[in-house]
Amino acid sequence: MTQVFYSSTLFGAMTLAAAMDAGRFGPHEGRRILLVSNNAAIPEVTPSLDEAPGFSALRPRFDEVWSWNEIIAPLHPSDWKARVVEVPMLERLVRSHLSLGEGAGELVLESVAVPPARTVAALVRDCPITVYSDGLMSYGPTRDPLPLETSGRITRLLHLDLVPELTPLLLREVGVAPDPLPDEAFRRVLAEMPPPTGLSGEAVILGQYLSALDIVTAEEEAELHADMLRALAARGHRSVLFKPHPAAGGHHARLLREVARELGVELCVAGDTVPAEACFSALRPQLVVGCFSTALVTASRLFGIPVATMGCDLVLERLAPYENSNRVPVTIVDATVPRLSLDGSITEPPEVELRALVEAVGFCMQSEHYPALREVAAGYIETHGAQARYFKNRRLASVGLLPEPVRPSRDRPLARLRRALSR
């Protein structure tokens, strides 16, 4: 049996390796093909995951590695999807390109609701699909409805057990059961990775690509990184490692170096292809700070490193539309991770019923697809009120958890006078 695995990040490939080692895909008897996609804004200048130094440790688990970018060039993986009339032809082409013969025995995908994974699912057909999730998004609802020919093939959801008290909402609406991966399997994979060299830092700043997602402006994101550095300096850290997001480009690091010089802080920048977890393992920093990166949770859960968040309030205010799939990850981090202030102080977040909060937010995001969560959401709102941090009154009203707001009359005074005189 040929198994086709798809991944767009090194962390995702590490998750696949952990699942293989944990026996989730059975013995390695047939062909195992890894389909790699580079989803960076400009993939031509951004290294793909199979070009990362750490990939050499994962490579023996796969018989073949193919680039999805090369298969569909010059189209961008995140934008292109096959038109309905093209699917039969393109299916034959993909099958021929990958030498699949009569087809694959299993297809393993991440982020199945959106291209490129959704596109791959449409072209590698007639086989069961396993979805794997390597981050906090697994705890949120499915981003977009799936076509029946895809959702009907999904048999399970593999995920890292990052927040043990939560059960993923992802794919729950189509009856897919989640299957958590053991922490130890992922730790063993990480131990195989070559340690990064030339890195230093008492603390770590995790970069994201919030401005690229139009959540904040580029200037606001740069200022957020600068505030993180200022807060770490206020805490007495004189050397800091900045771990940029692989898809963010190099401008964040350049701007942060200027702030570091002003503060007298030694700033080291990790390479784009170095996993954050490899940095944690090599440096064992005293503190890891970020906005709502999944790496905040892996630092705490897998390594026992203290973590803190900064900027969640801004992101929660700016996320639009309400269904934005980043909403649950930022909610989880905001509700559970200590908060770092500009003066260097760290405060614990208020206590919260995390499961009820996440399910209430998930219901408000996709109420039509998760009607079973209405009672939980209503109970949470009744107990805790419509917390403006996590809920918007207009959204609560639109899903029936608050009365519709009374809209002010737009009648002009003259029109009201005419009506009165005509009575």
Residue 173 belongs to domain with CATH number: 3.40.50
Q: How many domains does the chain have?
A: 3
Longest Cα–Cα distance in the chain? 88
- Asked whether residue 311 falls in the same domain as residue 365, the answer is no
Q: Please name which of 163, 143, 146, 255 lies closest in space to residue 205, comparing C-alpha atoms.
A: 255
| 20-55 pLDDT per residue, tens | 999 999 999 999 999 999 998 888 888 899 998 889
- Asked whether residue 167 falls in the same domain as residue 262, the answer is no
pLDDT band at 185 (very low <50, low <70, confident <90, very high): very high
pLDDT band at 123 (very low <50, low <70, confident <90, very high): very high
- Asked whether residue 28 falls in the same domain as residue 109, the answer is yes
- Asked whether residue 336 falls in the same domain as residue 363, the answer is no
| 275-287 pLDDT per residue, tens | 999 999 999 999 9
Q: Please name which of 179, 180, 183, 122 lies closest in space to residue 156, comparing C-alpha atoms.
A: 179
How far apart CA 243 and CA 230 sit, in angstroms, is: 16
Q: Is residue 100 in a domain?
A: yes
Q: Is residue 410 in a domain?
A: no
How far apart CA 246 and CA 108 sit, in angstroms, is: 22
DSSP one-letter string for 91-119:
HHHHHHHTT-TT--SEEEESSTTSTTHHH
Q: Which tokens go with 132?
A: 């794997």
| 145-184 pLDDT per residue, tens | 899 999 999 999 999 999 999 999 999 999 999 999 999 9
- Asked whether residue 309 falls in the same domain as residue 333, the answer is yes
- Asked whether residue 386 falls in the same domain as residue 239, the answer is no
Q: Is residue 411 in a domain?
A: no
Q: Is residue 413 in a domain?
A: no
- Asked whether residue 139 falls in the same domain as residue 114, the answer is yes
How far apart CA 170 and CA 407 sit, in angstroms, is: 36
- Asked whether residue 288 falls in the same domain as residue 334, the answer is yes
User: Of 167, 192, 217, which residue is a domain's last?
Assistant: 192
E strand map for 149-271: 154-160, 178-181, 203-206, 239-243, 266-269
pLDDT band at 410 (very low <50, low <70, confident <90, very high): low
Q: Is residue 93 in a domain?
A: yes
Q: What is the pLDDT of residue 248?
A: 67
What average pLDDT does range 198-224 have in this prediction? 93
Domain of 289? 203-347
| 322-374 pLDDT per residue, tens | 999 999 999 999 999 999 999 999 999 999 999 999 999 999 999 999 999 99
The sheet that has 346-347: what strands, in order across it? 266-269, 239-243, 203-206, 287-290, 307-309, 339-340, 346-347
pTM for the model stands at 0.91
User: Of 312, 347, 382, which residue is a domain's last?
Assistant: 347
Q: Is residue 181 in a domain?
A: yes
Residue 328 maps to which CATH number? Answer: 3.40.50.1980
- Asked whether residue 242 falls in the same domain as residue 340, the answer is yes
Q: Which tokens go with 247?
A: 């898809």
- Asked whether residue 101 falls in the same domain as residue 207, the answer is no
Q: Is residue 213 in a domain?
A: yes
How far apart CA 133 and CA 6 sit, in angstroms, is: 12
Q: Using the predicted structure, report yes or no on whether residue 409 has a pLDDT greater than 70.
A: no
User: Of 313, 347, 381, which residue is a domain's last?
Assistant: 347
| 307-318 pLDDT per residue, tens | 999 999 999 999
Question: Which residues, 6+ apart, have CB-to-CB distance to 288 below 8 Å?
Answer: 203, 204, 206, 280, 295, 296, 299, 300, 305, 306, 307, 308
Q: What is the pLDDT of residue 86?
A: 94
- Asked whether residue 262 falls in the same domain as residue 184, the answer is no
- Asked whether residue 105 falls in the same domain as residue 135, the answer is yes
Q: Please name which of 299, 283, 303, 264 lies closest in space to residue 198, comparing C-alpha atoms.
A: 283
Q: Is residue 154 in a domain?
A: yes
For 288, the enclosing helix (H) or strand (E) is: strand 287-290
